[in-house]
Structure 1
Amino acid sequence: MRPDDWHLTHDLDAFLERAGDFLRSRPALHTVPLTVVDTLRRRGPHVYGTEDPLFGALDTGDGVTGVFFRTPPHRLNLTSLTEEGAEALAERLAADGHDFPGVSSDRDTAALFAAAWSRRTGLESRQVERQRLYRLGELTSPGPVPEGRARVAVAADRDLLIRWHDAFLDDTGAHTGQDAGAWADSRIAYGGITLWETPDGTPVAMSGATPQVAGQVRVAPVYTPPALRGRGYAGAATVEVSRAAQASGAAEVLLFTDLANPTSNGLYQRIGYRPVTDFAVHAFG
């Protein structure tokens, strides 16, 4: 396998022409690239940052077997690769002078690429996050449903969504690069956030879902303000979002958890989510 077997482009349409079928072939494992590419198509190439995204597909002539994308200044995101594929990609990106803060992929691929990148650049790598991908099986309520009801967020909730978007990023340490207002507008436009509100109409938690792409929907983000946690609000909202995703015809309803958070992992399993595979994030430098 040669470094030139990796075909790199900034052209989203060209990338999808080459790699679209491959991405759609494993919608659960490819949920992140599928949803990111969909967002770029709907909202423009600079939704995650001012630089043009970079895409790559591994194609030795017998079809695509792996892809990556990067939305600068964020980390590299990879689908599953063999050791040879990871080595070839590291060699290609290093030779072309690329620089990025880290890599995210399934646990084994992330480790393979991080080691290859360190050998070629001299940069140290360290695992900074462990995630688990879950798929919904039989949906169940996690316990007594708190008083209140679920409703889809509307334009009048925009300021609240902006605040909770930023609070969620602060809590998780994530940095998507999206403008919070534009994110809220996009979610409101397609009904992508469900709020749980108390009987007096006060919103107390939110649970979101991505648009359906290739038959899969991913639940995210899920957030409850710290003072309101432990009362079942997020679980109730997530049950409603999951139910709506199934009712919409999604073949697979997915979500990621941080493995360092046993509370969320336990909650989602009680709702009916079952592990698919583990992912990892490695930082460089």
Structure 2
Amino acid sequence: MTPPGSAGMILVVVVRAYNGVAEFWAAARGLYETDPARHTFALSALSAFLSQGGSPSLLLTVWRDDALVGAMLQIDRADPLRLSALSLDDVGAVVEAYAAADPSLVAVDGPAEVAEAFAEAWRSRVGAEPAPPRHNLLHELGRLALPAVRGAARLATLADLDLLAGWTLDYEEEDYGRRSTPERMARVLRSNLLGPELVFAVWEDEGRPVAFAGARRPVAGVSRVGPVFVPKELRGNGYGIAVAGAATSWALDEAGAARVVLFTDESSPAPNSIYRKLGYRPVERFSEIRFQRL
């Protein structure tokens, strides 16, 4: 694609696809590491694939006159195309290239302005109607302030697999309106518990598990906390802020993170209030937008 540039110049925009993570990482690493908090999802996903094998279903870079200007990935066909490293200027070129190759994109996720511009361009180009955006706030930790809550934290083990699978299914349904199969969830969590990338803190009150939170090992100095879940019947006791604080402490003290981030649903006031009390502050608004074929 060759859109006109300023002063009559022609800018050549090229979208390149990759078959393997190592090749993509070699090309895109420098771009992602310029802002590892903004690109936390992509960095943690790529780190996991590099250490454990496998590959996302789609890996793309964007080049303008032979200079790397963007990168995107999609974990699988049901997952959003992740746009955190795509600039607003290159949305049109990417939509044209992607639509020509595969018009069945299910969703996008990225900084709000970019994701919403992509969704509108995709609607015009492909005829897929975007659903109302889900707005997520990226928060970054300032100074951690741990609360005084009854109970204590421990790290989960394989013995907690059934507990975590049930809670994660409930979290997924409550937060995203969809639910994986128990078999798939157990398989994913078993891999997480055995792997090096992710740990789960479990909060216990008098020996009873009451909440959990995930925390990822740092990539480029940044660790991401989440998900955080407390069963409905146990809410109102401070367990959510306690276990989120425990996961954050693990990221800082055990994993050696220089920075810690997390995402919250902008429309959920309770979690946003909790994380502010811990010392997190919102730094950027993301939008997840799903498409429905007309």
Give the structure-2-normalised TM-score. 0.88
Q: Gaps (5+ residues) in structure 1?
A: 47-51
Structure 1 counterpart of 2:5: none
More displaced stretch, 254-263 vs 185-194: 185-194
Structure 1 counterpart of 2:48: 39
Residues 30-77 of structure 1, C-alpha deviation per residue, up to 9 Å, x if partnerless? 00111111222334336xxxxx61111112245322111112122211
Q: Gaps (5+ residues) in structure 2?
A: 3-11
Structure 1 counterpart of 2:185: 180
Indicate the SS of the match to 1:111.
helix
Residues 231-275 of structure 1, C-alpha deviation per residue, up to 9 Å, x if partnerless? 101111111111121113211100000011000001001100011
Structure 1 counterpart of 2:34: 25
Mapped pair 1:11 → 2:14:
no
Evaluate the alpha carbon distance shift between residue 10 and residue 21 of structure 1 in structure 2; reply closer, same or farther with a 3 A threshold: same
Indicate the SS of the match to 2:102.
coil
Mapped pair 1:59 → 2:66:
no
Residues 151-187 of structure 1, C-alpha deviation per residue, up to 9 Å, x if partnerless? 0111211211111121111111266979322332233
C-alpha distance in 2 between matches for 1:246 and 1:19: 27
Question: Out of 273, 278, 282, which is 1:271 matched to?
Answer: 278
Pairing 1:60-75 to 2, within 5 Å after superposition = 60-61=64-65, 63-70=67-74, 71-75=76-80
Mapped pair 1:215 → 2:224:
no
8 Å CA contact 1:127, 1:280 repeated in 2: no
Indicate the SS of the match to 1:73.
coil
Residue 9 of structure 1, CA deviation? 1.8
Residues 217-240 of structure 1, C-alpha deviation per residue, up to 9 Å, x if partnerless? 100110011100111011111111
Q: What residue identity is the alignment partner of 1:10?
A: N
More displaced stretch, 177-186 vs 249-258: 177-186
8 Å CA contact 2:169, 2:180 repeated in 1: no
Mapped pair 1:282 → 2:289:
yes
Give the structure-1-normalised TM-score. 0.90
Indicate the SS of the match to 1:10.
coil
Identity of aligned residues (%): 31
Name the Cα RMSD after superposition. Answer: 2.0
